Amino acid sequence: MPRTEDSVLTTALHSEVETRFLTYALSTIVSRSLPDVRDGLKPVHRRILFAMWEMGLGPTTKFRKSAAVVGEVLGKFHPHGDQAAYDAMVRMAQDFSLRYPLVEGSGNFGSLDGDPAAAMRYTEARLSQLAEELLVEIEKDTVGFRPNYDNSLKEPVVLPARFPQLLVNGTSGIAVGMSCSFPPHNIGEVIDGLAAMIDDANIEVKDLLKFIKGPDFPTSGQILNSKKELREIYQTGSGGIRVRGEYTLEDMPRGRQAIVFTSIPYLVNKAKLLEKLIGLMEDKKLPQVSAVRDESTDVVRVVLELKAETNAELVTAYLFKHSDLESTFPINFTALKPNMEPERLSLKEMMRYFLDFRLELVTRRLNYDLRILTARLHILTAFEALYDDLDTAIKIIRKAKSREDAAEKIKKHFRFDDEQVKAVLEMQLYKLAGLEIDRILKEIAEKTKQKKDIEAILASQKKVWGLIKTELLEIKEKYGDKRKSVMKAAEDVEFSQEDFIIHEDVTVIMTKMGWIRRVKTVGENLRFKEGDELLSLLPANTRDNI
Q: Which of 24, 122, 318, 387 is catalytic?
A: 122
Instruction: Kindly give, in sequence order, each residue whose CB lies less than 8 Å from that of residue 13, ignoring residues fewer than 6 positions away.
Output: none
Q: What 3-state DSSP class applies to 15? A: helix
Q: Where do the H-state alpha helices sit in 213-302?
A: 227-236, 270-282
CA separation for the pair 140, 143 (Å, rounded): 8
- What distance in Å separates the CA atoms of residue 125 and residue 70, rounded to the nearest whole number? 11
| Burial of 144 per CB tally in 10 Å (0-12, 13-18, 19+) | exposed
> Taking Cα atoms as reference points, which of 162, 483, 484, 193 lies closest to residue 347?
193
The pairing of beta strand 222-223 with beta strand 486-487:
parallel
User: 421 vs 72, 199, 437, CA distance in Å?
Assistant: 41, 49, 18
From 242, 240, 183, select the one nearest 212 (Cα to Cα): 183
Q: Are the CB atoms for 389 and 355 separated by under 8 Å?
A: no
Contact 2, 149 (CB under 8 A): no
CA 343 to chain centre: 19
Burial grade of 135 (CB within 10 A; 0-12, 13-18, 19 or more): buried
Dihedral sign, Cα of residue 79, residue 84, residue 85, residue 88: negative
Buried-exposed string 447-462: b where 16+ CB fall within 10 A, e elsewhere: beebbeebeebeeeee
| CA pair distance 73, 52, nearest whole angstrom | 8
Q: How many CB atoms lie within 10 A of CB 19?
A: 11
Three state DSSP letters for 392-447: HHHHHHHHCCCHHHHHHHHHHHHCCCHHHHHHHHHCCHHHHCHHHHHHHHHHHHHH
- Residue type present at position 445: A
In three-state secondary structure terms, 511 is strand
In the annotation, is 122 catalytic? Answer: yes
Torsion-angle region of 255 (φ positive above 0: left; ψ -120 to 50: alpha; else: beta): left
Tell me the backbone φ, ψ of residue 366, rounded to 5 degrees.
-65, -40
* Strands 334-336 vs 326-332: parallel, antiparallel or unpaired: unpaired
The residues carrying an active-site annotation are: 122
